[in-house]
Structure 1
Amino acid sequence: METMTYAVADRIARITLDRPQRGNGLTRQLIDELATCVERADLDPDVHVIVLSGNGTGFCGGYDLVDSAEGLGGGPSRDAPPAGSPLDPAVMAANHDPSRTWDPMVDHAMMSRNVKAFMSLFEATTPVICKVHGFCVAGGTDLALCSDLLVIAEDAKIGYPPARVWGSPTTSLWAARLGPQRAKRLLFTGDCLTGAQALEWGLAIEAPPAAELDARVDALAERIAQMPLNQLRMMKLLVNQQTVAQGLPATQLIGTVFDGIARHTPEGYAFQQQAGAEGFRAAVHARDAPFGDSAF
C-alpha cells in the first residue's frame, strides 16, 4: 500500500489515510486501497472494531485537487483502467469538454465504483469508528458518513461545500444521519459544521478537544473491542437494515447521477475551466467568497 497504513492490535484494526502532503485527497489508488483494507479487517476474526483516521493536518479534504478538477479524474493506480474504458483519463477528459457530447454513463461508471468502495465501510460487518481532526470536507465526508460512529474534534470542520457548485453527495447519507431538514440546511448552502456543532446536531457521538481526540477514540474502540464479534455483527446489521429499507440504494443512484450532472451545468463548466486555468484552490475561493468562508 502507498496511500494508507494498516495495523492490528488488541482487537482493533487501524486504517490511516496517509497522503498528508495532499490533505489525504481521494485518488483512484487510495479508494481502492481503502476497500482492500476494510475487507482485510472484516475477514479477520481477531478484529472487533475498525478505527479510520487520517495522517497530517486533517482527515480528508475530498477528491485530490489535481486528479479531480485539474486532471479530470483517473489518476495513477496500480490497476490503471484500460485505454478506451470509461475510467481511462483520456475518456474522462473528453467527456468533460463542453464542446463535445456529454455521456452521463461515463461519469456514473467512475463515481458508482467509488461509492461501492466507500460503502464497504457501511457494509462491513465489523463496526467502524471514524476519527476526524482538522477537516473532513467534500468527498471526504463519504468516508465519514459511511462509518458507524463519528468522533470529531470540537474545532474540526465537516461539510459538503461542493453542494454550491460541481458536486452532489454520491453516498447520499446526509439525510439518514441528520434527518431531512438539517440535511437540507447544509446542502442548500454548502456550509460546514464544527465538531461541536456536529455533536449538537447528532452527527458526531463525541466532540472532544483536539488534544483529547486520540484518547477518546482509543477508549471507545477498546470498549467496543470487549464485545463478542458475533454480537457486534448482529447489532450493526440490525441497525443498518433500517437505513437500507428507507431507500438508501435508490437515493445513492440519484445522488451519483446528479454528481455527474452537476459537473456539466453552465456553472459546473465555468468552475472546471477556472480550475484548469487558475488551479482548483483559486476556483474554490471564488466559489466560496459570497459565503464568507472557504473549504481551505
Structure 2
Amino acid sequence: MTDDEARWRRSATEGDGSPYAHAKAPSDDGPAYNTLTYEVDGRVARLTFNRPDQGNSITPDTPIELAHAVERADLDPRVHVIVLSGRGKGFCGGYDLAASAENLMDGGVISSGSEGTVLDPVVQMTNHDPQGTWDPMIDFAMMSRFTRGFASLLHANKPTVAKIHGFCVAGGTDIALHCDQIVIAADAKIGYPPTRVWGVPSAGMWAHRLGDQRAKRLLLTGDCLNGREAAEWGLAIEAPEPDQLDERTEILVQRIAAMPLNQLMMVKLALNSALLAQGVQNSQMISTVFDGISRHTREGYAFQQRAAEAGFRDAVRERDSAPYGDFGPSTNKD
C-alpha cells in the first residue's frame, strides 16, 4: 500500500500496527466436512452446501459443521464476510426427512458419536411411539441443537450473506433466515410448507424478518414466495434474474468486504442488539417446543405413518395437493 492510499482500506493483517501482523496465516487445510465445503477467497469465506443429489438436505452433521465453519471464518482475520450457498439445483430442501419419516421406526441416519444421545434415531424412534409416552424435552434437546448451529450465522461477529437459487424450503429457511442479508434468484422458491402438518419453523425468525401479518400469511397457509415476492416483502434484499444471481451477490459481498473489519463487527453487533431485543431467543425456544408437538399430534402421527407406507415424497405431494396445489421445487402453478 502506498502512502497516498486510504489506510483504513488495508487488511486487518497489514502494517506494523496490526495486532495480527506477526500471526501465522490461518491454514486452509481444515477438516473435511460431510455436508459443505469451505474456502477463503480474498476477504470472503465461502461456505457451500455440498449434497446436491439430496437437495442439500439437512442431516445431524449439518448444524455441527456449519457452526464449525462459521467459527473458523469468524476467527480468520483475513475474512470480512461469510457467504453461504448451495451446489446443485437449490440452496437447501430442508431436513432429510426420508430418515425421520419413512424410516423412523427402522433407525434412520445417525451422526458418528451420537449413539445413545438425543441425536440417535433409535432414541427418537422410542420417543415417537404413538402407543408410548412422549417426552417433549427429548424432542427439544434434539431440535434445539440444530437451531443453535444455524444461529451461528446470526451470532457470528462478521456479516453473513445467503445466496439462494432454486429452492430454500422448510428447514432450509431455518438456516437462511439467520443470515444478515439474503440475495435470492427471482425464480427461486422460499417458504415453510410443513406448517400444513408435521412442522413449525424452529428458528422462530419469520415474524422478526417479515413482521406479524406477513409472517402469519405464510405460516398459516404453508404458502411459499418466489424470489421477486421475497424481495418485495422485505425477506430478501435483492432478487436478480437467475443468470445474474452470482454477479449481483458478488457486488454486494465485495462492497461489504471493502469495509474495515472492526467497523463491520460494530455495525452488526449494534443492529443485532435491536433484533435480539425483540425476543429472538424466546421465539426460538417456543417454536422449537411446538415443532416437537406438531410431530406428536393425531395429524402428525398420521402424516408420519403415511410417509412410512407410501414414501415421504408421496406424503408431501398429498400434503401440498388441493387447495394448495404447489408441490415441487417451483412456485409456478401453471
SS at match of 1:249: helix
Tell me whether 1:162 sits opposite 2:179 in the alignment: no
| Residue pair 1:74, 1:87 contacting (<8 A) in 2 also | no
Equivalent residue runs for 1:19-168 within 5 Å:
19-72=51-104, 75-78=109-112, 80-83=113-116, 85-168=117-200
Alpha-carbon distance in structure 1 between the residues aligned to 2:37 and 2:152: 17
Which residue is equivalent to 1:223? 255
Cα drift, residue 74 of structure 1: 6.5
Which residue matches 2:309? 277
Report what 1:293 is aligned to.
326
Residues 74, 121 of structure 1: alpha-carbon distance in 2 compared, 3 angstrom cutoff:
farther
- 1:9 deviates by 1.2
Q: What secondary structure sits across from 2:82 in the alignment?
A: strand
Q: Is the 1:284–1:295 Cα contact (8 Å) retained in structure 2? A: no
- Could you give the per-residue CA deviations for residues 165-195 of structure 1, whole angstroms, max 9, x where no partner exists? 1001111110010000000000010000000
Q: Which has the higher helix share?
A: 1
1:229-268 superposed matches below 5 A: 229-268=261-300
> Are the equivalent residues in 2 in contact too, given 1:169–1:256 (CA < 8 A)?
yes
Q: Which runs of 5+ in 1 are unaligned?
A: none
Secondary structure of the corresponding residue to residue 6 of structure 1: strand
Q: How does 1:201-212 map to 2 (within 5 A)?
A: 201-212=233-244
Over residues 96-135 of structure 1, what are the superposed CA-to-partner deviations in whole Å (9 max), with x where a residue is unaligned?
Answer: 1111111101100100111110100000011001000000
Given that 2:94 and 2:172 are in contact with CA atoms closer than 8 Å, whether structure 1 keeps it comes out as: yes
Structure 1 residue 71: Cα displacement: 3.3
Counterpart residue type for residue 238 of structure 2: E
Structure 1 distance, partners of 2:100, 2:255, is 39
CA drift of 1:46 comes to: 0.6
Q: CA deviation at 1:295?
A: 4.5
Secondary structure of the 2:177 match is helix
Q: Secondary structure at the match of 2:217?
A: helix
Structure 2 residue matching 1:289: 3-state secondary structure = coil
User: 1:29 deviation in Å?
Assistant: 1.2
| Alignment-mate amino acid for residue 99 of structure 1 | Q
Bigger Rg, which one: 2
Whether contact under 8 Å (1:74, 1:92) holds in the other structure is no
Q: CA deviation at 1:77?
A: 2.0
SS in 2 for 1:146: coil
Unpaired segments ≥5 residues, structure 2 = 1-32, 330-334
Give the AA of the match of 1:2.
N
TM-score by length of 2: 0.86
Equivalent pairs: percent with the same residue?
A: 61
Q: Is the 8 A contact 1:28 1:74 kept in 2?
A: no
- Length-normalised TM-score, structure 1: 0.97
| 3-state SS in 2 of match to 1:131 | strand
Residue 57 of structure 2 aligns to a residue in which SS?
A: coil
Distance in 1 (CA, whole Å) between partners of 2:173 and 2:97 is 16
User: Structure 1 residue 242: deviation in Å?
Assistant: 1.1
Give the alignment's Cα RMSD to 1 decimal.
Answer: 1.2
Code of the residue aligned with 2:38 in structure 1: it is: Y
Question: What letter is aligned with 1:76?
Answer: I
In structure 2, what is the Cα distance between the partners aligned to 1:32 and 1:71?
23
1:214-267 Cα distance to aligned partner (Å, 9 max, x none): 111111111100000000001111111111111111111100000000001111
Q: Distance in 2 between matches of 1:71 and 1:14?
A: 33
Classify the secondary structure of the residue corresponding to 1:129: strand
Query: How many residues were matched structurally?
Result: 294
**Alpha-carbon separation, structure 1, partners of 2:121 and 2:146:** 15
